[in-house]
Amino acid sequence: MTDQLPIFKARVTEWLIILSIFAVLLSSVLLFALSTADGTAAAGYYGANASDVQFSLLMFYAAVASFAVVERRFFARVVTKDYLLICILLEVLIAYWCYHTREIWLIFALRFLQGIVNCGLTSISLNLLFSRLKSEHAKETGYTIFYGMILCVSPVTALFSVPVVENFEYNVVYKAIIFCFLPSAALLFCIMNRVHVLRKTPLYKIDWMSFVLFATMLVLIAYVLVYGQQYDWLDDSSIQFCIFAILFLFLVSVARQSTLKRPAVDLSVFKSRNFAIGIVFLVILYVIRGAFSLTSSYFITVLGMDSLHANEIMIFNIGGVVAGSVIAIRFLIRQKHLRVLWVMGFIFLFVFFLWMCQLFATEAGTRNFYLPLFMQGLGAGMVMSPIVMFIMSSVPEKLSQSASSVGIFVRFSTFSLSLAFINFYQLYFKGKHNDDLRSSLTLLDFNLPYRLKMYQAALSSKGMPSDEAGKAAISLLNKAVQKQTFLQFCVSYYEWIAVLCLLSIMLIALQPVISRTVINLRNKQPAAAGF
């Protein structure tokens, strides 16, 4: 900071400063998964399908990932307090616009704008947080806190939004986020002085073209991975066009960054062996993390829980994330063997997926899932922030911003790919298991007539006429088959993810360079954002 004034007013207590920063950071994190917190309600309100809801999430993510390459120039040029005010006003206006529209295509555009503004808010919050952490390992602590919050984003957002959706129309969640965000942002604005948190730099020669190229490419990637299954992939001309456009934009972007004197993303980061190793494990981690969403789907689809109850159970997972993050930061501060930390984290994830394969059943008590959920959070908390900081520490200080940008691109692409994997394999496994089940459900199956009569008798006892009860019994049988096929899909997919965890453990064991890398972010600036 180049100004004589402190960042915050002298009479403000430290606990109020930390509280206001955390409140704004939490509100920013809530915006990420807001559109998918209750996907069924969102799809019903906008007259859309599940793919549209997923795409709205990825539009937000694409904006964050692409705008990160130019956001720092705005932050360094504008007085931080003024920058915060601009972000507050834009965030409120966009959320209010979301509240007043029912057009899904407009929601896509507004979510993209929200991602751009959220990139600035997160950047402000992280830099302010790091300014308050006075220890030698302030950035390591700050990153661990931030990525711990990211791991908890889905259940926390659901706990925030589901009660609202159950009592009001879906669009009210955007009004609720305004009332959640505005007080904390206003408090943070009031206690700040007009200073530059970052060293002031001229606002000229901003690489807008890189932002446009990256944003277009990421949006097209999201479109292909979300809608590809729905449109039969290469059988659809729009998917073919998008794939060719992605390849073209990628080649143009690489060529452009290679020739620029001051590239937005310096491609020399890939010359570092450790950087490549970190990126590989980041991809693996996000595929594994994406699979965890099936646990919530299982609670709702098979066990019949409501969304609120299903996410209340996730409090145990949040507790695991907190514990794992504490362990991770202790390892990092004490410069302990990083490879041991990663192996332990992936072992916990491996045990979780194997354990869940045994617990998946049509009927189960919720208490059986408390310990596995805690274990999953523990493993994720132990590896998430250390992998990100390993990537940042593997490159020189001058390349740290490029490493952050590449990391965000990779996280976005892998997150999108994880959604595509689940959509594809769900259809594949459900079709396979559905055919197997239906082939065994013949009139020669002695259980089938008994099951139909049981359904029919239960419906007749409720007052339904006999002929209607017979038709409804067949419908109930179909639902039971669908529930069973989804259950078997979850087991099959989790077995594959468990194998991926095991392979990851073996790869870590074969890379002694991981433990020889010293995590040092002292002189490196944080990324604008990264979910």
Write the pLDDT tens digit of every residue in 322-331.
999 889 888 8
pLDDT exceeds 50 at position 158: yes
Same domain, 45 and 123: yes
Q: Which of 199, 208, 194, 185 is nearest to 75 (CA)?
A: 199
- 3-state SS, residue 485: helix
Same domain, 335 and 216: no
Same domain, 434 and 451: no
Torsion of CA 276, 277, 282, 285, to 10 degrees: 150
pLDDT exceeds 60 at position 115: yes
Same domain, 341 and 218: no
Report pLDDT for 446.
43
Taking CA atoms, 277 is separated from 66, 245, 331, 512, in Å, by 23, 29, 20, 11
Q: Is 106 exposed, middle or buried (0-12, 13-18, 19+ CB in 10 A)?
A: middle
Residue 326 near residue 148 (C-beta atoms within 8 A): no
pTM of the model: 0.86
Q: What is the mean pLDDT of residues 42-50?
A: 86
List beta partners, residue 192: 8
Task: Write the CATH number for 392.
Answer: 1.20.1250.20
φ, ψ at 8 (rounded to 5°): -115, 155
What CA–CA distance (Å, rounded) separates 87 from 405? 21
Which of 261, 290, 324 is the last residue before a domain boundary?
261
Q: Which of 331, 387, 333, 330 is nearest to 137 (CA)?
A: 333
Maximum Cα–Cα distance for the chain, whole Å?
A: 87
Q: What is the mean pLDDT of residues 5-19?
A: 85
Taking only the tens place, the pLDDT of each residue in 386-443 is 888 888 878 887 777 788 888 888 888 888 888 888 888 887 776 665 566 555 555 4
Same domain, 462 and 407: no
Domain residue limits at 224: 208-261
Same domain, 129 and 212: no
Report pLDDT for 45.
86
Same domain, 322 and 189: no
Taking only the tens place, the pLDDT of each residue in 446-467 is 455 655 566 555 556 665 665 5
- 3-state SS, residue 8: strand
When pLDDT is cut at 50, 70 and 90, the band that residue 351 belongs to is very high
Q: Most confidently modeled of 161-165, 225-229, 360-364? A: 225-229
Q: Which of 1-10, 251-260, 393-402 has the weakest average pLDDT?
A: 1-10
Q: Most confidently modeled of 35-39, 276-280, 431-435? A: 276-280
Report pLDDT for 448.
54
DSSP, res 236:
S
Residue 488 near residue 426 (C-beta atoms within 8 A): no
Same domain, 133 and 26: yes
Q: What tokens appear for 365 in the block?
A: 């008590």
- Domains in the chain, number: 4
What CA–CA distance (Å, rounded) separates 181 from 529? 18
Same domain, 387 and 474: no
Report pLDDT for 201.
65
Same domain, 523 and 391: yes
Q: What percent of the chain has pLDDT over 70?
A: 83
Residue type at position 403: A
Report pLDDT for 526.
45
When pLDDT is cut at 50, 70 and 90, the band that residue 111 belongs to is very high
Same domain, 280 and 323: yes
- 3-state SS, residue 523: coil
Same domain, 294 and 427: yes
When pLDDT is cut at 50, 70 and 90, the band that residue 349 belongs to is very high
Report pLDDT for 404.
82
Residue pointed to by tokens 């659901």:
158
H-type alpha helices, 304-399: 307-312, 315-333, 338-359, 370-393
DSSP, res 265:
S
